[in-house]
């Protein structure tokens, strides 16, 4: 990773962080409906509080949401700027696969990775535009499902017919639960 402050060839991009791995913001496949729930604190926090001092509050939750996140790995930046290696890439894939397992919280509930789809290019500068490859992955709600509440309420399809020359697609991870 590099910043403009440390790399003089990037003097026009004040403070921009660049590296071989870039992740876009995740977006829900369908609109989500946040719900407010009431929460209580049933224990006195400081020692000087008595047990009658209970606190009530509110918390927003999303009963179910399926999010799609796209990312990019620049083999060219890895090679020329950071030295990011194939071993680093394998560690990254493993980290993505387990990213929610080792960092549980009440705010994220039971978030889980469901699929990891990778388009590989022979050319370090890419063999096809990312947006065209991403458009080959579609997620649709299954027929008869009025309100999705599980991953099984959706179908995921990859159009891998006639991929651009030099591009392959791989399902690195698939959770069929």
Give exposure, 6-22, as e/b (b: 16+ Cβ within 10 Å). eeeeeeeeeeeebebbe
- Element holding 67 (H helix, E strand): strand 67-68
* Residues pairing with 66 in the sheet: none
Give exposure, 38-77, as e/b (b: 16+ Cβ within 10 Å). eeeeeeeeeeeeeeeeeeeeeeeeeebbbeeebeebbbeb
Check pLDDT > 50 for residue 26: yes
The whole-number pLDDT of residue 131 equals 96
In angstroms, how far is CA 79 from the centroid of its own chain? 24
Give per-residue pLDDT as tens, 83-128: 899 999 999 999 999 888 877 777 677 888 999 999 999 999 999 9
The whole-number pLDDT of residue 58 equals 83
C-alpha 76/C-alpha 123 separation (Å) is 9
pTM for this model (two decimals): 0.77
pLDDT above 70 coverage of the chain, percent = 82
The whole-number pLDDT of residue 114 equals 93
């Amino acid at each position: 990773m590099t910043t403009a402050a440390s790399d003089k060839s990037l003097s026009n991009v004040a403070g921009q962080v660049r590296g071989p791995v870039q992740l876009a913001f995740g977006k829900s496949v369908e609109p989500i409906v946040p719900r407010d729930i009431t929460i209580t604190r049933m224990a006195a926090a400081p020692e000087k509080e008595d047990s009658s001092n209970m606190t009530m509050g509110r918390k927003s939750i999303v009963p179910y949401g399926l999010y799609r996140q796209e990312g990019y790995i620049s083999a060219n930046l890895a090679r020329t700027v950071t030295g990011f290696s194939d071993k680093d890439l394998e560690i990254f894939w493993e980290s993505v696969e387990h990213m929610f397992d080792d960092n549980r919280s009440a705010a994220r509930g039971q978030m889980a990775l469901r699929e990891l789809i990778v388009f590989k290019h022979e050319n370090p500068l890419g063999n096809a535009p990312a947006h065209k490859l991403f458009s080959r992955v579609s997620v649709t709600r299954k027929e008869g499902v009025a309100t999705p509440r599980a991953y099984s309420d959706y179908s995921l399809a990859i159009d891998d017919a006639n991929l651009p020359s030099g591009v392959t697609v791989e399902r690195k991870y698939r959770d069929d639960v």
